[in-house]
Amino acid sequence: MVDNLAKKLDNAPKAEIEISEAPVKWCSVSLSEMVERGKRLEASVFDVEAKQAHDLVNDNKYGCSVLLGDDGIIDNAYYPGRFKRIYCDRGNGVPFYLPSQMTDIYPKADKYISKLTKCDIDELKLKEGTLLLTRSGTIGSISLVSKTISGKVFSDDVIRVTFKNDYDLGYVYTYLKSKIGNTILQTNGYGSVITHLEPEHLAETLISNAPKEIREKIHTLIMRSYDLRDESNALIDKAQDLLVKELNLPPVSEIKADTLDESKSVQTFSVKLSEMAGRADASYHVPIVDTIVDILKKNAAEVTTVGDKRISSDVILPGRFKRVYVDEGYGRVFIGGKQMYELDPSNKKYLSKSKHDKRIIEELEIQENTTLISRSGTIGKVCLVPKHWKNWIASEHIIRVVPANNDVAGYISIFLSSDYGYELIKRFTYGSVVDEIDDNHVRQIEIPILRNQDVQKQINDLALQANEKRYQAYLLEQEALKVLDEEVIYAE
């Protein structure tokens, strides 16, 4: 019996051995560095990429200096003093933005601080010509202040940086956005990771002393990129205004729900058994949703749903799966729900093509002008897929609404990203711990068809034009990064 089993094992098909596509990382470590790290010999103690980045900048063609100091290019780097925040309702406070929103193309405040908060509100307001860095949590995220966020009140967890020369704003932004520069920002000279960024760390951050003409060239590309982002935001605002005007929609905060019983100490309302739709949770039957739908029906030619084949050809919710990540260059770009509002997510991951090939093609791959909706955790984030995201992979926590055609692609995104669309999405939320919605819920979301088709087309076209400007903004930023690499970092 044992002999037969042995023969079967000999004849069994051999397991296929897979070799990692990623290259081996290595570096040399001096004895003094090993002693500095407590005589540790594990490779994990020494960040290979950080050491290589420091060596690369140290040995570059133009020499290097530090960002902050007597010979540095930074004029000032600071963050406002810490304070205890007093949050309040939307109508009673100042819009307050968090560090996680700093890299959004068009950040929208979802928190408001009371004017009773003991802090200098003016000190928290951002000023154009300033570079922004996150200093805690996810450190090293980079942005700069354009017209979109100028004057907005941002958290004290954001470091504000100004420069002696205007053209160094775009140059340093590009450098710290690059893989080499960002690695140096987040590590010290020995390669150990900095867990909390302070302005004084910039005095240890190396940067190449590139000639003025190259810095100006890079700065011009970046400023034009941010100008296009501002222009895209203005187009979206115009589209939203047209939608509100055509449907005669009042601000959400002013919509009154007649079904609320104001005589009670808590908000109560009644729901007919015929309207239960199998849901007993109060959040599904919230009166403001019915009021919004009534307004839509009154002012639109028709109110249909996202699942209508005139609106979408498909609504896709990928199944859950175990992800196999690989290094950059060996897989497909993978983004999650937190990155939906960014132009070019800085902390992209890469999913193995060989392990997920079939699932990538059938479910995960996203295409231009598809509307994405976050379905878990933070519900209802909406974005329109720009051209440079085509064939990227989005997390299974993001629902894809594939438009019936490009005549409605932009319109879908504008409506669902509006305050009214958000209320209609949010009503489907379920879950006792982690909020969720699914593809069946998205298909049921009401969406109006406008009486004036010319206005609907104009809204749609504005959204697509905004998306194109964002694509052009991305190309300009990539060109700046290319100039940095070819003419500065790797220049011979």
**Which domains, ranges and CATH numbers included, belong to the chain?**
31-209 (3.90.220.20), 231-467 (3.90.220.20)
Q: What is the CA radius of gyration of the chain?
A: 26
pLDDT of residue 188: 62
At residue 386 the predicted structure's pLDDT band, cuts being 50, 70 and 90, is very high
Question: How many angstroms separate the first and last alpha carbons of the chain?
Answer: 70
Whole-number pLDDT of residue 260: 55
Beta carbons of 102 and 134 less than 8 angstroms apart: yes
State how far the Cα of 259 lies from the Cα of 222, in Å rounded to an integer. Answer: 52
pLDDT surpassing 60 at residue 20: no
pLDDT number for residue 37: 63
* pLDDT for 14 beyond 50: no
pLDDT in tens, 100-156: 899 999 999 889 998 888 888 888 999 999 999 998 877 889 999 999 999 999 988
Determine which of 265-279, 363-377, 462-476 has the lowest per-residue pLDDT on average: 265-279
C-alpha angle with apex 386: 380 to 390, nearest 5 degrees? 105
pLDDT of residue 266: 65
The mean pLDDT value for 167-182 works out to: 95
pLDDT at 398: 94
Q: How far apart are CA 393 and CA 365, in angstroms?
A: 5
Residue 257 pLDDT greater than 70, yes or no: no
**205 vs 281, higher pLDDT:** 205
Q: What is the pLDDT of residues 178-237, one digit of tens each?
A: 999 998 888 765 556 667 888 988 998 999 999 999 999 999 999 999 999 999 999 999
Reported as a single tens digit per residue, the pLDDT across 81-107 is 888 888 888 878 899 999 989 999 999
Average pLDDT, rounded, for the chain: 86
- Examine the pLDDT at 6 and tell me if it is beyond 50: no
In the predicted structure, residue 21 carries a pLDDT above the cut 70:
no
The conformation of residue 386, written as its DSSP 8-state character, comes to P
Q: Which residues contact 184 (CB under 8 A, 6 or more apart)?
A: 50, 53, 54, 57, 205, 206
* pLDDT value of residue 32: 79
Residue 393, pLDDT > 50, answer yes
d(CA 360, CA 318): 10
Residue 373, Cβ density class (10 Å: 0-12 exposed, 13-18 middle, ≥19 buried): buried
Residues 292, 402: Cα–Cα separation, whole Å = 25
Give the burial class of 201: count Cβ atoms within 10 A of its Cβ; 0-12 exposed, 13-18 middle, 19 or more buried: buried
- Of 103, 238, 217, nearest in space to 168 by CA: 217
pTM: 0.87
CA 302 to the chain's CA centroid: 34
pLDDT single digits (tens) 293-337: 999 999 999 999 999 999 999 999 988 777 888 888 788 888 888
Cβ burial, residue 3 (10 Å; 0-12/13-18/19+)? exposed
Give the pLDDT confidence score for residue 1 in this predicted structure.
46
Mean pLDDT of 342-371: 82
Which pLDDT value is given to residue 46?
65
The answer to whether residue 264 scores a pLDDT higher than 70 is no
For 279, the enclosing helix (H) or strand (E) is none
Q: In this structure, are residues 464 and 406 in contact, taking their beta carbons and an 8 Å threshold?
A: yes
Read off the pLDDT band of 30 (50, 70, 90). confident
What average pLDDT does this structure show over 150-168? 94
